[in-house]
Structure 1
C-alpha cells in the first residue's frame, strides 16, 4: 500500500462467525505490527477492530500490519506500507577550511523512492576527474570529499542536487571558503623544552646552594 509520510491512516478489520470455533471468543481480534502485538482497548477487539497510524513516518516504510482472529491465527489479513518521502534537503551551509586541509560535504539522501544525485560547482556539473574529488553514496548519505584544498581550485559554491521521480529536484548548497593555513605553535614540544630548562636550573641551584648562600650572607 503506497502512502505519503505525515498523513493519518485508519485500518479496519471485520470478522464474521467462523465454523468450529467457540462462539464465546471467536470474534476477538488482535493486531500486530512487524510481529509485535498492538495493545487494544477491550471494546476494540470484538467483531470489528480499527487501528490508527497517526502520523505515518519514515520508520513505517516496509512495516507489515496484521489483523488476526485470536482463536485461529490462520484467519487473518495483512497490509504492508510503502511510505513515500523526500530527502531532508533544500538548505544552505557555510564551510570554512584551511588551505591544504581536507573537507567533506554531506547530504542526507535517504528517500523513497530512491533519488539520483549529482554534484555541481558554481552551477556547473562537477568534473570529478580533476581537483582531488571523491564521491560516495550509500543511499542514506551522499558525500563529496576534497583533499588538500586550494583556494584557486576549490573555493566556490557546491550543490548536492537530487532528483526524485515523485518530488522533483531539490538539493543542499555549500559555500566553501578556503582560508590561509594557520601556523600553529607546537605547544607540546615547547612545554617539554621549558620543563627541561627549569629542571636544569633547579638542579644547578641546588648543587651550588652552599656557595650561593655564602655569597648572599652578610659579613
Structure 2
C-alpha cells in the first residue's frame, strides 16, 4: 500500500515537472524591464518540456505582432532597437498558439525627461474666459507649476489650476487687460532639473456690440418693409387681374 502511494506521488511529481511551459527571458513569470529612452531590448520566449514543435504568437498591448514563421516555433524573439517615450507602459505578451492560457508578459518601464507641448500664443478678448493647456509626458512623475512673467505668484481667485493624467491647465475667468503676460509651465522631475514651456497671452479690448434694443428695432423695421413691399406688389397684381377681366368681357 505504501509502495503504491509512493509511486503515485512520484508519478504526479514527474508529470508536474515535465509539464509544458514558457520561459520569458529565462523566467517562468511576468517581467518588468526598466529601460531608458533610446535603449535597446531583446525579449526571448522559449517553450520547455515540449514533445512536439509548438507555435508561439506575440501581442503588443492588444495588437498581435507580425513575426516570421521561422521565428515562431519553440523559440521566438522580439527585438526593440530603440525604445521611445510612447513605449512606456506597453506590455509584450508571448502565448502558446494552441493554448493561449499559457502565456507570460513583459511590461516596459521607460524613463525619459519631461516633454512639454501646447499652443504657445493665445489672443483673447477682455471679459472672455481663457484656457492655457500645457501637455506633458514624463517618467518618473513630475511636479507641475505655473509662473507669470518668470515669477512665482499667488494667482487671484479668477485663476484656476487643474491637472489630468497628461495636461496641466490654467483657466482665467473673465480675463482682464492686466492679465496680458507670459505664463510659464514648469515641470520638475525627481532630479530637480526644470523643464519649461512659455505661453504668451495677449488680451485685447472688448469689441463693441450692437445694443439689444437696436437689434430688435432693426428686425421690426425690416419686417415692416418686407410686409409693405408684399402688400404693394399684391395691389399691382390685383389691378392687372382686374384690367385683364375687363378686356375679356369686352
1:112-170 deviation digits (Å, cap 9, x = unpaired): 22211111111111313x26111100121111111112213x11111111112258311
Superposed, 1:50-89 pairs within 5 Å as 50-70=77-97, 77-89=104-116
Aligned counterparts of 2:101 and 2:57: Cα–Cα separation in 1: 12
TM, length-normalised to structure 2: 0.67
Higher-Rg structure is 2
User: 1:162 and 2:187 equivalent?
Assistant: yes
Once the two structures are superposed, the pairs formed by residues 60-209 of structure 1 within 5 Å of their partners are 60-70=87-97, 77-89=104-116, 93-128=120-155, 130=156, 132-152=158-178, 154-165=179-190, 168-185=193-210, 192-193=219-220, 195-203=222-230, 205-206=232-233, 209=236
For structure 2, the residue ranges without an aligned partner over 5 or more in a row are 1-32, 241-250
Give TM-score scaled by structure 1 length: 0.75
CA change 1:71–1:178 in 2 (3 A) is closer
How many residues align? The count is 205
Structure 1, unaligned runs of 5 or more: 214-219
Deviation, 1:68, is 4.4
Q: Do the aligned residues in 2 keep the contact of 1:92 with 1:173 (CA within 8 Å)?
A: no
Higher RCO (CA < 8 A, seq sep 6+): 1
User: CA RMSD, aligned part only?
Assistant: 3.4
Matching residue of 1:11: 43
